[in-house]
Every structure is written in structure tokens, then in C-alpha cells.
Amino acid sequence: MKLPMDDLISELLKEVSPPYLANKDWEPGKPVYYSGPYWDNKELKVTLKSLLGGKWLPAGEEVSRFERKFSKKFNKKHSLMVNSGSSANLIMFSALKKRYGWQDGDEIIVSCVGFPTTIAPIVQCGLTPVFVDIDFSDLNWDVSQIEDKISLRTRGVISSPVLANPYNYDQILDICERNKIKLIADNCDALGSKWRGKYLTDHAIAASCSFYPAHHICTGEGGMVSSDDEELIRIARTLAWWGRDCYCVGAQNKLADGVCTKRFSKWIEKYDGIIDHKYVYTQMGYNLKPLDFQGAVGCVQIDKFEDIHQKRRTNKKLVQKHFEKIPGIRSVEELPHAEASWFGVPIICDSKDTKNRLTKHLEDNKVQTRNYFAGNLLMHPGYSHLDYYKNYPNSCKVLDLVFFVGCSPTITEPMIDYIGTVTSKFKK
């Protein structure tokens, strides 16, 4: 007998419900990964349904549904899903440059500590990154240095709070307003973080996000660009979809005449005839589209967001307590108006030797650790031509003294107790 697809998938998942999901099979001695997909059978079910459903595999109705759901949840009018957070940053800068008529060499202010693909797209788009050092108390960029870096060519600042911890947003908003420059958010690590009860991205002209498994929402790979500016997202979509002019998304693709109602028209001046709008190219674009099942998974994940947010906050506190029992170790606290949706637990050591020995002790005991990404990116071969790294002395200390461990909802109470056992055995 042929079972309907939903029943078939439910039957299949009864048999194979993978024990690694949400670390149900974890026991001491198994690795404590710093993050991972916080999935259960719901995500697997929609994945299988999307793959087996016989529909178009690339971005379609599910991606379009996720874009709308994401916009609604995170207070932005429009969103575009792409295949990674790095692609989101690339498309965001490309679209901003076109939308606002920025010229090659116009400047964007950025921290020199962080993730490489916050900075690379600035350069890839012909803009110039101008760096500021960090404040070592919370590792975020030192906002007090920003105004000195503003020139006649400054168009914006790109803000990426370290491990999701908001710095003083009153200050950055004031700087942007007084100097008439744009606040752009690389929000890949900080989805859900708030300042004075509002999402950090509420204040930004455009925001990016990542759905890699280290991040709050996981679709395998994936990213999002969001904005209240419809035209900006339309340009971004064109750029991410081969440069084509057609802006039909999801089910709109099934409309015979498209959303514009004139799909088959005389679209281009240099061709005297009827042409399909889907094959009209107004930009030199890329192909950065995700797959449709990723949109379906995103829709499931977003329903879990409040749980994810609270678990990250609780886990951060519990893990931090264990580490702070070690003399000479501190983490970072939220400012009074901040609510961080922690990406990880920052650990700051009093010496390079302590950092090296502590991370080795943790790794030897299968507790995963991570550098705070690149540390000072200007030390790296791909970035050192942009500025002299020693001009940023606090940033230079990051690789020596800082690392982070996970606080993802995939880390369960027994795993946190185990982290406590491991840290208690560390001899300073």
C-alpha cells in the first residue's frame, strides 16, 4: 500500500530519530561541541518533505515564506535569504553602494577584530574600511574612537557586537545622527540581542544574519539581508539572483504575467521585440540563492527562537560561573540597558600562558574552545595591506588572552556540569 508522504516521513523518523539531535546521547567523555543544529524531528520532517515533494529545489515558496516570517519576527519590512552570512554581507554592501550612490573609495568604519567577511565585502565593493581599536573591557569596538575616524568620505559604520553583547547604542546612534552616516549591522552573531528593549537591528539601515550551525537559527548554511527599505532589498535580490530584473518570489513565479503584470514585454531599448522579464539583466549579479528546504527549516527554527534566546542566556551564566572560579579568569557582563542573545561565553585570561594552558586542558578533556575568530584581522596575510596592525594595541591582545566556549541550547545541563568538573581540575 502506498502511504501519503507525510505518513511515510513520520514512519521513517520514528525509526531513525537521530540520537545526536540536541545531544540526547551525550555522556561524559563525549565532545562538548560549542554549538550545533538545535534541531529535532520537525526540521528533519520539513527537509524530507521539501526534498521529496518534487517541487523546485532551489529557493522557492519555502524560502519566500521564511523571508516574510523572519521580517515579521525581527521588525524589518523586507528580507532576502541567501546562501551564507558572508554572502549576506557582500550583497548588503553591494546593494547599499548602488542604492545610495556611494563612490569607490568612500569609507566605512569597522572594528579590526572579528570575522573576516565583515570586512572583505567592504573592499570587494570598492569601498575603504577605516579601522578602530577595541575596548578591552568588553572586547567591542571602542566607540569613543569612531568620531576621530569620520571624514568627508565616511558613508557608514558597520556594527558587529562581540559574541552578541551590545555596547552602548545610545552613543553610536548619536554619532550616526550627528554626522549623517548610516548604521549598518553585521548581525550574524547577535540575532535577538536588544538595547533598551529594542532589537539592535531596529536602528540599522540594513542588517545581515547567518544561519550556519554556530548561530542562533540553523539552516545548515544560509544568511539573510533585511531592511525597511524595499528598494534596497529589491536591488539586493537582483544582485543575488544573477542580476536579473524580475522580482517575483515564491508562488509569484507561477503568475503567468508576473507581479509586474507585463512579464512578456518590450523590456530593453536595444532589442526591438518582446522579451521575458526573467531574462532581463539590470545588474552584474551573482548566484547566491539558498535551497528551498533551508527556508522550510528556517520557518521551524524561528518558532523556537524565544527558547533559543533564553537557553543561550541561561547557559552563558552557568558556564561563566564555572570559569570565574579560576583565579585570573573573567568573562564579560551586559551593560544595564543591554539584553544579549549570547553567541558564546567570552573568556579573558590574565596571561598568554594561562590561555594556552587552559584551552589545551579543555580541548584535552573534549570541551571545544574557539578563538574570538581572527583576533586582529590586520595581522592576517589577506588583510595586512589594509592598515598597520600595531596601530590597534588592544586588538593585538585578543589572540593572546581571549577565547570563547559555547552556550548554545544544544549544550545541556549535564554537559555544563561536566564543564564545571573539567574547569575545577585546572591548575593555574
Ligand X SMILES: Cc1ncc(COP(=O)(O)O)c(C=O)c1O
Question: How far apart are CB 343 and ligand X at their closest, in Å?
Answer: 7
Choices 81-89, 135-143, 170-178, 197-205; region in contact with ligand X by CB under 6 A: 81-89
Nearer to ligand X, 189 or 292 (CB): 189
Please select the residue that binds ligand X; options are 212, 267, 383, 403, rule is CB under 6 A: 212
Q: Rule CB under 6 A: which of 91-110 touch ligand X?
A: none
* Sequence-distant (≥ 6) Cβ neighbours of residue 418 within 8 angstroms: 28, 32, 367
Count, residues near ligand X per rule CB under 6 A: 16
Nearer to ligand X, 226 or 354 (CB): 226
As a whole number of angstroms, the distance between CA 187 and CA 189 comes to 5
- For residue 317 the three cell numbers come to 551564566
CB 162 within 8 A of CB 114: yes
Per the rule left: phi > 0, alpha: psi between -120 and 50, beta: everything else, 111 is beta
Please report whether residue 115 would count as binding ligand X according to CB under 6 A: yes
Please report whether residue 84 would count as binding ligand X according to CB under 6 A: yes
The count of other CB atoms within 10 Å of the CB of residue 359 is: 19
Q: Are strands 275-276 and 264-265 parallel, antiparallel or unpaired?
A: antiparallel
Active site residue 361: no
Nearer to ligand X, 83 or 283 (CB): 83
Question: How far apart are CB 373 and ligand X at their closest, in Å?
Answer: 6
Q: Can you count the helices (H) and strands (E) in the chain?
A: 14, 16
Cα R_g (the chain), whole angstroms: 23
Please report whether residue 160 would count as binding ligand X according to CB under 6 A: yes
Alpha-helix runs per DSSP H in 201-247: 230-240
Nearer to ligand X, 48 or 402 (CB): 402
Helix (H, G, I), strand (E, B) or coil at 389: helix
Please select the residue that binds ligand X; options are 35, 50, 159, 210, rule is CB under 6 A: 210
Choices 131-139, 210-218, 267-275, 363-371; region in contact with ligand X by CB under 6 A: 210-218
Please select the residue that binds ligand X; options are 61, 62, 133, 189, rule is CB under 6 A: 189
Please report whether residue 85 would count as binding ligand X according to CB under 6 A: yes
Contact map string, positions 33 to 72, toward ligand X, x by CB under 6 A: ----------------------------------------
Q: Rule CB under 6 A: which of 220-259 touch ligand X?
A: 223
Give the E-state strand segments of 16-83 in sequence order: 78-82
* DSSP conformation letters of 73-105: HTT-SEEEEES-HHHHHHHHHHHHHHHHTPPTT
Nearer to ligand X, 188 or 297 (CB): 188
* Sequence-distant (≥ 6) Cβ neighbours of residue 337 within 8 angstroms: 166, 169, 170, 195, 196
As a whole number of angstroms, the distance between CA 121 and CA 39 comes to 31
Please report whether residue 186 would count as binding ligand X according to CB under 6 A: yes
CA 419 distance to own-chain centroid: 26
Please select the residue that binds ligand X; options are 118, 201, 226, 410, rule is CB under 6 A: 118
Question: How far apart are CB 34 and ligand X at their closest, in Å?
Answer: 12
Nearer to ligand X, 215 or 311 (CB): 215
Question: How far apart are CB 17 and ligand X at their closest, in Å?
Answer: 27
Q: Which of 78, 215, 309, 322 is catalytic?
A: 215
CB 11 within 8 A of CB 3: yes
Question: Which residue, among 70, 349, 43, has the nearest Cα to 213 in the 3D structure?
Answer: 43
Helix (H, G, I), strand (E, B) or coil at 265: strand
Please report whether residue 86 would count as binding ligand X according to CB under 6 A: yes
Please select the residue that binds ligand X; options are 63, 150, 188, 319, rule is CB under 6 A: 188
The count of other CB atoms within 10 Å of the CB of residue 339 is: 20
Amino acid present at 365: N
Q: Can you give the binding site for ligand X, defined by CB under 6 A?
A: 84-86, 89, 114-115, 117-118, 160, 186, 188-189, 210, 212, 214, 223
What positions carry a catalytic annotation? 215
